[in-house]
Structure 1
Amino acid sequence: MDEERLFEAARTGKIDVLQDLLAKNPLILTDVALSCSRETPLHVAVKAGQLDFAHQIIQHKPEFAGEMNMDGYRPLDIAVITGNTDIVSRLLKIEEFQICRLPGKDQRTPLHYAAVNGRVEIISELISTCPDSITDVTVYGETALHLAVKNNQFQAFFVLIDWLEKLKQRALINFKDCDGNSVLHLATARRQYNSLELLVGENNIFSGVLEVNAKNSKGLSAMDILDIVMENPNDMQIRKILQKAAEKSPSSSNNYIAKEKQNDLTEEPLKDWFKYFKFQRQRDSPSNTRNVLLVVAALIATVSFQAGVEPPSSLAEHKNTQADTSNISPPPSSIPPPSEHPAATAIVPIVSALLGHTEANPYLFLFGNSIALAASLSIIIYLTGEFPFQRELLISIFAMMFTYGYSVHGLIEEDWISNAIVAVAFVLPYAVRWLPRWMNKAWKWWRGPPTSQSNQANRV
């Protein structure tokens, strides 16, 4: 009951109630600390903006200033987020411990929260009270500079840059987060012209210090990121700023950015573009690569399935011509008679088509189209492994293959040949991938474990 009155007094700022409770039980604040409460009365007073009540709590129990609530916030964190400069100033006067550097949720300090929320006055007060706090990083390797850029707080970023110069900590501008991104990478990705002008403009303070050509964990420089996020002609101004900064960088002679000044992108050799857009394991994320492959495979599957359901008109005319001449005794055919073996049955018409026999043209179309469908569906199966509803997805894919085979049934007069071609085409993509592995395993099993004599021979 007394604890409820204490928290209500903290919310409303009734100091007289606090005094009565302390007179009745001098250890009531300690009892609250031991009660595993969600938060302390100081948290409540700071949230409510009750400066005088918070001052009384600090006098009687200064340890509350370092306590975190269930959400991972300390009283100073809450005061910074809400922008209550008076409470911030009062809390910073506590000398028992360095409260301005105590990490909270995600290892964030009050300076980090000030940068996220753009509290310019509080940033200056925090750094002037505790200069080393500007070097603190979150659990994700972010400094206050990173957070200011990520949250588009330009004024906060400007104040932090000014403090870097005052504290002679300019090298901190090159600090990278857990993704390898410096402040320059982040500002470029968000196309923050003002921030980039401050970093690499003509009047910047980081000349000779800022690593303009640095790359993140994906192997991307600031210019590479700009190539990806560029959306409108106004972004060309950012490119010019980066190019000028790259020319002044010590490593510009070996960097792609500096070369762009001499060679316009539209005039680069095609081989450079091919190399640039090739898959690079360090640059391209697996999830993005998988998404691209899924889109391409789905497109190929759609086109090939539609071509099988509605074949070209030339094939239909070819079939009608064969039907009209079926009653006439045909001349000796140049196509070899099919073998009784299914594989040979499927291969003979295909080889005949490749040799130019017009009678076998439908077989060549059917084989190529079926290969495209089967290969694209196999890619989809591989890339969706262990996805939710994997069983339902496999059922739908195999049902699609069945309906495709049924739809092409009758495309060619000799249905048994077309069925054999479709069967071979559907098995071939899987055989190409898995057969070498199975053969390798079978070869190792057949050879057995290496003998001691062979081991000695290998050593010699």
Structure 2
Amino acid sequence: MENEHVQQRLMKAAEAGDISLLYGCIQDYPKILDSIDEIPFVDTPLHIAASVGHAHFALEMMRLMPSFGKKLNPQGLTPLDLALQSREGLSPSDPELQNMEELSPEDRDLRNRITSTISRLIKFDKELIRVKGRESLTPLHYVAEKGDIDLLAEFLCAYPESMVDRTIRDETALHIAVKNSKLQAFEVLLGCLRRIRKHHDVLGWKDDEDNTLLHIAVSTSQTQACHLSILWFSL
């Protein structure tokens, strides 16, 4: 019972980004963080703090419990996944916000805080970019799917080798970008692929339906993606 009460206070601390309250919880129940870590699938304080953009709290949690960075919640999401989804939900391109000329000041501030938290987390531990969540999707796969060029470039700069990671459907970030018609993201990924000198290998990889990047581009009538695939493969 005491454990449950302290855990509730800890989650409130994560929501508020209150590091003092975090340590108050630890003082009251020193094993509180370990008890959370023992649960196979759980929303940790890091999940909560990352999703609402409390960078300092998130970094303190990573320092105390590095394992939380790779922990999946019941939906199969890591803390970084959850932060990315929260950020995407505050994008003007989101269906619920399409008719808005711009975000409210509060939402814009929240989005900026979440973006900063994401950047600081991957600077703290770049391995977070490659943590596989539901269906073996990584944070890099997610930003490729959304065509988020800024974060895509940041992730690739931090960990270029992450682009060879595959989903359970044998898709790389390149496959995902083409399947979602994200040409600019595809171009950014191709550039990184060339820099790490893996373009000849990866461009020929097939997904679980036996489709290469060129097959996907042709079948979806993406002329520019077809040209790029052929051009880069010939280099």
Which category of TM-score, normalised to the shorter sequence, fits these structures? 0.7 to 0.9
Q: Where does 1:165-176 land on structure 2 (aligned, <5 Å)?
A: 165-171=194-200, 172-176=202-206
Instruction: Specify which of 112, 119, 140 is matched with residue 89 of structure 1.
Output: 119
1:73-111 C-alpha deviation (Å, 9 max, x unpaired): 11122234444432223222445x933322221112221
Does structure 1 residue 70 correspond to structure 2 residue 100?
no
1:162-196 C-alpha deviation (Å, 9 max, x unpaired): 11121112111121111111111111222123323
What's the counterpart of residue 26 of structure 2?
22
- CA drift at 1:37: 6.4
| SS of corresponding position for 2:232 | coil
Q: Where does 1:143-154 land on structure 2 (aligned, <5 Å)?
A: 143-154=172-183
1:119-158 C-alpha deviation (Å, 9 max, x unpaired): 2222222222222211111111111100011112222111
Question: Are 1:7 and 1:41, in contact at CA under 8 Å, matched by a contact in 2?
Answer: yes
Does structure 1 residue 102 correspond to structure 2 residue 131?
yes
Q: Any unmatched runs of 5+ in structure 1? A: 210-460
Q: Where does 1:29-428 land on structure 2 (aligned, <5 Å)?
A: 29-35=33-39, 38-83=42-87, 84-94=114-124, 98-171=127-200, 172-200=202-230, 204-207=231-234
| SS of corresponding position for 1:205 | helix
Question: Are 2:53 and 2:115, in contact at CA under 8 Å, matched by a contact in 1?
Answer: no
Structure 1 residue runs of 4+, over 6 Å off?
A: none
Question: Are 2:52 and 2:83, in contact at CA under 8 Å, matched by a contact in 1?
Answer: no
Aligned partners of 2:163, 2:28: CA distance in 1, in Å?
Answer: 44
Aligned partners of 1:54, 1:161: CA distance in 2, in Å?
Answer: 32
Note the aligned Cα RMSD (angstroms): 2.1
Question: Whose radius of gyration is greater, 1 or 2?
Answer: 1
- CA drift at 1:38: 3.0
Aligned partners of 1:120, 1:176: CA distance in 2, in Å?
Answer: 24
Aligned partners of 1:176, 1:35: CA distance in 2, in Å?
Answer: 36
| SS of corresponding position for 2:203 | helix
Of the structure 1 ranges 13-22 and 69-78, higher mean CA displacement relative to structure 2 is found in: 13-22
Aligned partners of 2:85, 2:39: CA distance in 1, in Å?
Answer: 27
- CA drift at 1:41: 0.8
Relative contact order: is structure 1 or structure 2 higher (C-alpha 8 Å, sep ≥ 6)?
2
Aligned partners of 1:93, 1:145: CA distance in 2, in Å?
Answer: 23
Aligned partners of 1:15, 1:25: CA distance in 2, in Å?
Answer: 15
| Identity across matched positions, percent | 34
The amino acid that maps onto 1:185 is H
Aligned length: 204
Question: Are 1:68 and 1:104, in contact at CA under 8 Å, matched by a contact in 2?
Answer: yes
Question: Are 1:100 and 1:133, in contact at CA under 8 Å, matched by a contact in 2?
Answer: yes
What's the counterpart of residue 97 of structure 2?
none
Question: Are 1:80 and 1:122, in contact at CA under 8 Å, matched by a contact in 2?
Answer: no
What's the counterpart of residue 95 of structure 2?
none
- CA drift at 1:35: 5.0
Question: Are 2:161 and 2:196, in contact at CA under 8 Å, matched by a contact in 1?
Answer: no
- CA drift at 1:112: 1.0
Q: Any unmatched runs of 5+ in structure 2? A: 88-113
Aligned partners of 1:17, 1:31: CA distance in 2, in Å?
Answer: 18
Question: Are 2:166 and 2:172, in contact at CA under 8 Å, matched by a contact in 1?
Answer: yes
Question: Normalised by the size of structure 2, how large is the TM-score?
Answer: 0.78
Does structure 1 residue 8 correspond to structure 2 residue 12?
yes
Aligned partners of 2:195, 2:115: CA distance in 1, in Å?
Answer: 23
